[in-house]
Amino acid sequence: MGELNRAGLSSGLTGRERERAVIGRLLDDARCGGSGSLVVRGEPGIGKSALLEDAAERADGMLVLRTAGVNAESDLAFAGLYGLVRPIVGLLDQLAGPQSGALAGALGAGALAGPRPVSGLGGRTGPARGRRRGQPGPVPGR
Rounded percentage of the chain residues whose pLDDT exceeds 90: 23
| 22, 29 contact by CB (below 8 A) | no
Burial class of 19 by CB neighbour count within 10 A (0 to 12, 13 to 18, 19+):
middle
Amino acid residing at 20:
R
Q: How is the chain split into domains, by residue range?
A: 1-62, 65-118
Q: What is the pTM of this model?
A: 0.61
**Higher-pLDDT residue of 80, 58:** 58
Residue 30's H or E segment, with its range, is: helix 17-31
In this prediction, residue 35 carries a pLDDT of 83
- pLDDT, tens digit, 9 for 90 and up, residues 11-20: 578 889 999 9
In this prediction, residue 119 carries a pLDDT of 38
Q: What is the DSSP letter of 71?
A: G
Cα–Cα distance measured from residue 49 to residue 89, given in angstroms and rounded to the nearest whole number: 25
Cα–Cα distance measured from residue 64 to residue 75, given in angstroms and rounded to the nearest whole number: 26
